[in-house]
Structure 1
Amino acid sequence: MTELTARLRAGYGAGPRHVIVVTAAIVLAGWVALRLAGEATTGRMLLWFLGAVIAHDLVLFPAYATADRVLRAVIRPGPDRRVALLNHLRAPALASALLFLVFAPGILRLGETTHLAATGQNQHPYLSRWLLLTAAFFLSSALTYALRAAWRRLTTRRVRGNGGQAPGKRSERA
């Protein structure tokens, strides 16, 4: 049994309890979705769910894992290792990507006539608003990074100027 558990841990990355819990959670989520929807064509819904899982695992995950790996190779940690630039790029990129996934039909102007008939409005502002939000995400993240890096440099100088002690601390010799 231990050999089987070790092989599972090596291949999957976690123990058998994790596999069981994740599988149960997925089955439970699928059952709840089918019950709440009350859809007579559950086969279509199940097919859509399976397609979404496959699209994520075979297309999206390799794409963003590759992008993250490229960013890690390009961005080397600087002298200030406590303020990580990589996370200040990941967060706005994730927010922008999620907004794109949610509003992709509007951004790409798919179903424009249906949207116009249903709402009385066209889809022209979707792309510009998404681009403005993406720019705002990256700008706020850049500002946060700059402030954190400046604060880190300031506190590092204070500690070095105080003989290696944190500001406000008294030396035991005095």
Structure 2
Amino acid sequence: MRAVRGRGRPSSVRSVRSVRSVRSAVVGSPLQLLLLVCSFALAGHAGVRLLADDRSAVVLWFVGAALLHDLVLLPLYAAVDRGVVRAFGAAGRRERTMYVRVPAALSALLLLVWFPLITGQVDRRYRMATGMPADGFLGRWLLITAVLFAGSALLLLLRVRKETKDRPPDVH
């Protein structure tokens, strides 16, 4: 007879279930794995098609992007996020970090997508391909970033105002 711990299940059955749940959380279902492999294949195909003349540039871009993200950007935005959490967490308002995280993530995503045009690295190529000037991307990105943070600040202000209205007055 096996030892029984909690809820009448044998401990060996519970441990097998916990191992399975950990394995499924890490590995995922076969469909998830297939979709992940397909997304990598599609990204690789798109990269090769975009830079068909220079395959070494494609490899350099993928490796460089991975190294830049893992070694530089991830520690950087993890440190910034930790600072935001400490700033709001110290005041007991940890849930308010999303008012900084969301506009920062959206702004970073726009920067990532439009980086060559924002920094002016491909002005000539863009002008030749579209017939339009490439100036103004930096200003537009900064404007969009300012609007995202201003909108987030407005939503935070409305939330704080609502919380103070809903709170009963202090009586001493």
TM-score by length of 2: 0.67
2:73 matched to which residue of 1? 60
SS state of the match for residue 124, structure 1?
coil
Q: 2:150 aligns with which of 139, 144, 147?
A: 139
Distance 2:97 2:78 in 1: 13
Question: CA 1:61–1:143 in structure 2 vs 1: closer, same or farther (change >3 Å)?
Answer: same
Query: Alpha carbon RMSD of aligned pairs, Å?
Result: 3.5
SS state of the match for residue 157, structure 1?
coil
Q: Structure 1 vs Structure 2: percent identity of aligned residues? A: 32
SS state of the match for residue 132, structure 1?
helix
2:88 matched to which residue of 1? 75
1:154 matched to which residue of 2? 165
Listed as ranges, the gaps of 5+ residues in structure 1 are: 162-174
Listed as ranges, the gaps of 5+ residues in structure 2 are: 1-11
Question: CA 1:144–1:18 in structure 2 vs 1: closer, same or farther (change >3 Å)?
Answer: same
SS state of the match for residue 136, structure 2?
helix
Q: Does 1:120 align with 2:134?
A: no
Amino acid at match of 2:69: H
Q: Does 1:103 align with 2:114?
A: yes
Question: Are the counterparts in 2 of residues 77 and 84 from structure 1 also a CA contact under 8 Å?
Answer: no
Greater RCO between the two (CA within 8 Å, min separation 6)? 1
Residue 100 (structure 1) shift: 0.7
C-alpha deviations, 1:108-147, integer Å up to 9, x for none?
0012111111122222211111111111001100000000
Amino acid at match of 1:78: A
Residue 76 (structure 1) shift: 3.6
Question: How many aligned positions are there?
Answer: 148
Distance 2:46 2:133 in 1: 32
Q: 1:30 aligns with which of 34, 40, 61?
A: 40
TM-score by length of 1: 0.67
SS state of the match for residue 92, structure 1?
helix
Amino acid at match of 1:64: Y
Amino acid at match of 1:16: R
